[in-house]
């Protein structure tokens, strides 16, 4: 066992864990006050659901031996069977499988959470939780197997996806678009102002994402080596360059350098360098960053033209940024892998994941919608989801109102004429 590599991967896993709460803040600050907690919870709940599913069967379906054709892992490692602390991956000088499994668990947690921004303010929390469970099972685990397991068909095709441009970002971006097409627009989309309620929170979230992304990208080397160092360096410069790219585009187009633009540009750069950073030099990373920042800044306006309500621009940032990074590495790779044939492979990787994820995500969203109903009720959406699904409000600046009921359960406020939380049975 290599102690240095093991330590690095374990620390990287903890860094990647921080990305999901970071994402929660990033999205949470972007919505209106009335559903801010719901937005935070949509990301945060993934840490619960996916951590459990990963142990039960996720690891096995993703990294178990291939069942054939490079499409899915087998069930040999259900419940992490057959793995003990001494089991290593990567030969005698490798790292414990547990460290690798924990690191990859964090990727599985983050990916569905990325989609939540597209569905802001309008879905039932229970339906979203079910959708996460279905989606990681039927979409994420197979696609991660294709891309990262040695027998996976895209791995075999030699598609470069160092840390998740296809498996994570394109996958979540297109999945989010499919879910939006099933769920529909927010009430008042394009008519009412839907301004971010807390931009400092968005900035905090973007900063935590940026920090955690060093684990995401450099940790994907699975070793404390030159590749990890390259990836860490390129992560920093591409992200900085992307922020500048977004801001310059925005200044020309809309006349201001916005905070939201800086945060969004940084995330676009992080997304684009994810698949590509290990195979480009620092100058290539700057180029990838600038392109991702400027193009994503333009791409977020598409939803208004095309009329789909991707509320917090998951498509515009993650899908577009993921495609940019996945394709550009075919052009800019410096270690002998670049060229037209690699570009072709990258395109196959990007578009096969897009096609599969779009169709299956749409079907899953449809199933959820037709069984338990995906959307929150109209009144709930208008009044805000926090009180309805979580029986809380995000901010309390009021000095009046609020009476303790003396009961330890959820109070039935119907006696006072106030609405009870949605899930509480009210005796007629």
- Go through the chain and tell me how many residues it has: 428
Nearer to other proteins, 143 or 291 (CB): 291
Compare residues 304 and 355 and give the one whose CB is closer to other proteins: 304
What distances in angstroms separate CA 300 from CA 38, 196, 293, 310, one per listed residue?
A: 23, 15, 11, 9
CA 57 – CA 78 distance, rounded (Å)? 5
Nearer to other proteins, 29 or 411 (CB): 29
Residue 282 to residues 130, 177, 230, 232, Cα–Cα distance (Å): 42, 32, 8, 10
Among residues 90 and 196, whose Cβ is nearest to other proteins? 196
Sites for other proteins among residues 238-267 (CB under 8 A): 250, 253-256, 258, 260-261, 264
**Using a CB cutoff of 8 Å and minimum separation of 24, what contacts does 340-348 make?**
342/158, 342/160, 345/157, 345/158, 345/159, 345/160, 346/159, 346/160, 348/154, 348/157, 348/159
CB of 193 to other proteins, least distance (A): 5
Q: What does the per-residue mask of binding to other proteins show for 313-332, with x meaning CB under 8 A?
A: x-------------------
CA–CA distance from 6 to each of 90, 200, 205, 225, 233 (Å)?
A: 11, 35, 28, 12, 21
376 membership: H or E segment, kind and range: none
- Closest separation in Å from C-beta 247 to other proteins: 12
Task: Map the footprint of other proteins across residues 175-204, applying CB under 8 A.
Answer: 193, 195-196
Using CB under 8 A as the binding rule, whether residue 89 contacts other proteins is answered as no
Which part of the chain contacts other proteins (CB under 8 A), choosing from 65-73, 149-157, 178-186, 300-308?
300-308
Name the phi and psi angles at 330, rounded to 5.
-65, -30
Interface with other proteins includes 70 (CB under 8 A)?
no
> Which CB, 256 or 359, lies closer to other proteins?
256
Tell me how far, at minimum, the Cβ of 152 lies from other proteins, in Å. 35
What is the sign, positive or negative, of the torsion defined by CA atoms of 420, 423, 426, 428? positive
| β-bridge pairing 88-89 and 95-96 | antiparallel
- Which residue, 191 or 407, has its beta carbon nearer to other proteins? 191
Beta bridge partners of 375: 123
Counting residues that bind other proteins (by CB under 8 A) gives 17
- Whichever of 303 and 390 has its CB closer to other proteins, that residue is 303
237 is a site residue for other proteins (CB under 8 A): no
CB 319 within 8 A of CB 126: no
Q: Which CB sits closer to other proteins, 217 or 264?
A: 264
Alpha helices, H only, 150-258: 153-156, 171-183, 199-218, 226-254
Question: Least distance (Å) from other proteins to the CB of residue 366?
Answer: 29
Rounded CA separation 172/320 (Å)? 11
Task: In angstroms, give the least distance from the CB of 265 to other proteins.
Answer: 10
Is 300 a residue that touches other proteins (CB under 8 A)?
yes
Binding to other proteins, residues 278-297 (CB under 8 A): 297
Eight-state DSSP code of residue 89:
E
| Residue among 126 and 258 whose Cβ is closer to other proteins | 258
Residues binding other proteins (CB under 8 A): 193, 195-196, 250, 253-256, 258, 260-261, 264, 297, 300-301, 304, 313
């Amino acid at each position: 066992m290599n102690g240095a590599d093991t330590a690095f991967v374990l620390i990287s896993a903890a860094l990647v864990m921080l990305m999901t709460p970071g994402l929660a803040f990033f999205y949470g600050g972007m919505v209106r006050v009335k559903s801010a907690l719901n937005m935070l919870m949509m990301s945060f709940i993934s840490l619960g659901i996916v951590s459990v599913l990963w142990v039960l069967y996720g690891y096995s379906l993703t990294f178990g031996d291939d069942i054939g054709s490079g499409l899915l892992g087998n069930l040999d490692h259900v419940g992490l069977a057959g793995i003990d602390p001494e089991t290593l991956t990567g030969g005698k000088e490798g790292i414990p499988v547990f460290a690798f499994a924990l690191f990859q668990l964090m990727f599985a947690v983050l990916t569905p959470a990325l989609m939540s921004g597209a569905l802001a303010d309008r879905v039932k929390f229970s339906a979203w939780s079910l959708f996460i469970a279905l989606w990681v099972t039927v979409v994420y685990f197979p696609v991660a197997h294709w891309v990262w397991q040695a027998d996976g068909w895209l791995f075999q095709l030699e598609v470069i996806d160092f840390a998740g441009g296809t498996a994570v970002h394109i996958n979540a971006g297109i999945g989010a678009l499919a879910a939006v097409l099933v769920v529909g627009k927010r009430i008042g989309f394009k008519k009412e102002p839907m301004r971010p309620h807390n931009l400092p929170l968005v900035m905090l979230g973007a900063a935590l994402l940026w920090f955690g992304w060093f684990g995401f990208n450099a940790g994907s080397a699975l070793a404390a080596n030159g590749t990890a160092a390259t990836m860490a360096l390129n992560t920093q410069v591409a992200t900085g360059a992307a922020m500048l790219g977004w801001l310059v585009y925005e200044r020309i187009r809309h006349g201001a350098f916005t905070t939201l633009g800086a945060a969004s540009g940084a995330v676009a750069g992080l997304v684009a360098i994810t698949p590509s950073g290990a195979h480009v030099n620092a100058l290539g990373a700057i180029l990838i960053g600038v392109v991702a920042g400027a193009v994503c800044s333009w791409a977020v306006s598409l939803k208004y033209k095309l009329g789909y309500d991707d509320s917090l621009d998951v498509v515009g940032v993650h899908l577009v940024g993921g495609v940019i990074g996945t394709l550009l590495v075919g052009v800019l790779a410096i270690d002998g892998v670049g060229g037209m044939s690699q570009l072709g492979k990258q395109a196959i990787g990007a578009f096969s994941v897009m096609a599969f994820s779009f169709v299956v995500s749409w079907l899953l969203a449809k199933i959820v919608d037709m069984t338990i109903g995906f959307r929150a009720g109209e009144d709930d959406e208008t009044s805000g989801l926090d009180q309805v699904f979580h029986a809380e409000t995000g901010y309390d600046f009021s000095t009046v109102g609020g009476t303790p009921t003396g009961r330890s359960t959820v109070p039935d406020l119907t006696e006072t004429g106030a609405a009870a939380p949605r899930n509480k049975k009210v005796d007629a």
